[in-house]
Amino acid sequence: MIVIKAEDKVFRVYSDLLSRQSSIFRDMLAMPQSDEVEKIDGHPYVEVQDSASDMEMFLNTLQGVRDWETERVSYPAFLSAVVRLSIKYDVPALRRRAVRHLTSIWPTELEGWKLEHTESRRETGSYIFKIVRECDLRALLPSAFYIHCEINDNASLPSPISEDPADITRCAFDRQRIMDRWRRLVYETISEECPSYSWTSCQQARLAWFTGNSLPRLLFDGSKAWHDYLSVPTGEWLRDVGDLCSDCQAALRQRVDRTKKRVWSDLPVFFHLPSWNVLLEEFNAHVQG
């Protein structure tokens, strides 16, 4: 038995169980212990710098007391603790499982991203910044910065998901480059030439679409510095197209899908991070290694 103290809380854990799963605790327990070593109830005693709640979630998971499925209420907090501490204390089996679970609530691919609800993403986002700051999991950052772009125009977010003021500044500037991509989509759509019908009727329909559909309009009326266009279903861009011919509609649909893919694939570039390939390679080392 070993006693672990985190903040004002003590945890009693079987030494065998800890040494079997964590090389860090194994080394700690293997160190020769003199008689002067502080003991609690006759058991060796270790004080850690982690928070008591993090340690509790981590140890409970390690001992099989808590399971993933029962942690729905505080899922991001729980997952964040297990990911960070399983990396810190080198518990490979738990780390692989936890990081994999993390991608199920914080996808690194566009398809998974669109399914997530914005509110839950904001809540999870604050934990993501914490995880990334402590562990080498930068593949979670592009989308975390993306969510953080929802700061208001005074850059005073009611509930910032990153505590670092530099992140707020970064998002306030870099989000304009993302919005420019969507503006380019609208320029291209407006100036496109119709391949099949008369140029005039499709051109009129395009102008009606530009003033009637709120998505292109919002990009130019200066009322909003940011809008999460990645989460907008493609079909919403096709509203108010009036008499736009089917070819032009298909072209618009394709352009929206292409822009989404490009915005996603360039997210690391927008936020001055290494490419997705580099980030994912780093990330996968935690899932496989």
Please give the residue ranges that form the binding site for Zn ion (CB under 5 A): 194, 197, 202, 245, 248
Q: Which is nearer to Zn ion, 243 or 257 (CB)?
A: 243
Measured CA angle at 148 (ends 146, 152), to 5 deg? 120
- Min dist. Cβ of residue 247 to Zn ion (A): 5
- Min dist. Cβ of residue 66 to Zn ion (A): 58
* Tokens read off for 27: 């080394």
- Min dist. Cβ of residue 183 to Zn ion (A): 22
If you count them, how many residues does the chain have?
289
Q: Which is nearer to Zn ion, 63 or 201 (CB)?
A: 201
Nearest position to Zn ion, beta carbon: 194
Q: Which is nearer to Zn ion, 197 or 210 (CB)?
A: 197
Mapping DSSP to helix (H, G, I), strand (E, B) and coil, where does residue 162 land?
coil
Q: CA 234 → CA 10, 205, 212, 260, distances in Å?
A: 53, 18, 16, 9
What is the rounded distance in angstroms from the CA atom of residue 202 to the CA atom of residue 210?
A: 12
- Min dist. Cβ of residue 163 to Zn ion (A): 50
Q: In what order do the strands lie in the sheet with 9-13?
A: 9-13, 2-6, 43-48, 39-40
What is the rounded distance in angstroms from the CA atom of residue 235 to the CA atom of residue 233?
A: 5
272: left (phi over 0), alpha (psi -120 to 50) or beta: left
What is the rounded distance in angstroms from the CA atom of residue 219 to the CA atom of residue 183?
A: 6
Q: Which is nearer to Zn ion, 256 or 267 (CB)?
A: 256
- Min dist. Cβ of residue 146 to Zn ion (A): 33
- Min dist. Cβ of residue 239 to Zn ion (A): 17
Q: Which is nearer to Zn ion, 16 or 247 (CB)?
A: 247
Using alpha carbons, select from 253, 248, 258, 244 the residue that is nearest to residue 195.
Answer: 248
Q: Are 233 and 199 a contacting pair, CB within 8 Å? A: no
Q: Which is nearer to Zn ion, 164 or 188 (CB)?
A: 188
Residue 1, C-beta contacts closer than 8 angstroms, at least 6 positions apart:
12, 13, 14, 15, 43
Q: Which is nearer to Zn ion, 82 or 194 (CB)?
A: 194
* Tokens read off for 70: 């029962």
Q: What's 194's DSSP letter?
A: P
- Min dist. Cβ of residue 203 to Zn ion (A): 9
- Min dist. Cβ of residue 277 to Zn ion (A): 38
Q: Which is nearer to Zn ion, 136 or 247 (CB)?
A: 247
